[in-house]
Amino acid sequence: MSATRFTEAYKGKPPWDIGRPQPVFKTLADAGAIAGPVLDVGCGTGENALFLAARGFAVVGVDAVEAAVEAARRKAVARGLEAEFLVHDALALEGLGRRFATVVDSGLFHTFDDRERRRFVTSLAAALALGGRYYVLCFSERERRDGGPRRVTQAELRAAFDHTPFRVLSIEAAEMAANLDGGGRKAWLARIERVANP
């Protein structure tokens, strides 16, 4: 999906803008699997980042769409939460000049083509601290209904991340909540660890 299509989507209410955090990230936080500081890549209007900020984590959210970032900033002010939201390219995370213990991704990875996937892996390595975790929630090939982004297989996730400087810890079936007829969509939740320097 091009940046222009994302910008157009935010002129209405995108199907991924559900007005609450994705349940899988709440489950991860409840299990103590999140450590700060946290980076939310492709943060949209900020619900996952704001949920984690409310839990006491230092959080930065980045998105390429200015309207989404502005909406996230307004929500943070309205809720009295400390969270930083930036218009930034997820394929150039080295530009942040920071390292994070956790990176969360709700529906970003599955928007990338093959070349962008390779660029994102390099970008992620610049932002995730050694020993840090990347949690990616992406559409699965198990989702057979029409529409939506490119499906991602377990094999594709392993091909992208199961090599230095990362390793795949687990990939499990999950659901991505959405504002769509029929409710959520079938997804993978992958847990990936930074285990080495490049």
pLDDT higher for 142 or 17?
142
CATH number at residue 134: 3.40.50.150
Is residue 133 a contact partner of residue 33, using CB atoms and an 8 Å limit? Answer: yes
> Quick check: is 15 in a domain?
no
- Comparing CA positions, the residue from 152, 185, 189 lying closest to residue 15 is 185
**Residue 75 dihedral angles phi and psi, to the nearest 5°:** -60, -40
CB neighbours of 5 closer than 8 A, spacing ≥ 6?
none
User: How far is the C-alpha of 48 from the C-alpha of 61, rounded, in Å?
Assistant: 9
Residue where the block lists tokens 């984590």: 57
Structure pTM? 0.92
Q: What is the dihedral of CA 104, 102, 135, 28, to 10 degrees?
A: -90
Domain count, the chain: 1
Q: How many CA atoms lie within 13 A of 163 on its CB side?
A: 9
> Quick check: is 99 in a domain?
yes
> Quick check: is 179 in a domain?
yes
Bridge partners (DSSP) of residue 176 are 185
pLDDT in tens, 54-111: 999 999 999 999 999 999 999 999 999 999 999 999 999 999 999 999 999 999 999 9
Q: Tokens in use for 122?
A: 């390099």
> Quick check: is 53 in a domain?
yes
pLDDT higher for 61 or 1?
61
Q: Tokens in use for 45?
A: 């209007």
pLDDT in tens, 103-128: 999 999 999 999 999 999 999 999 99
User: How far is the C-alpha of 105 from the C-alpha of 95, rounded, in Å?
Assistant: 18
**Residue 178 dihedral angles phi and psi, to the nearest 5°:** -155, 155
Question: Angle at CA 159, nearest 5°, toward 157 and 164?
Answer: 105
Checking if the pLDDT of 1 tops 50, the result is: no
> Quick check: is 155 in a domain?
yes
Range of the domain at 115: 3-10+20-194
R_g over Cα of the chain: 15
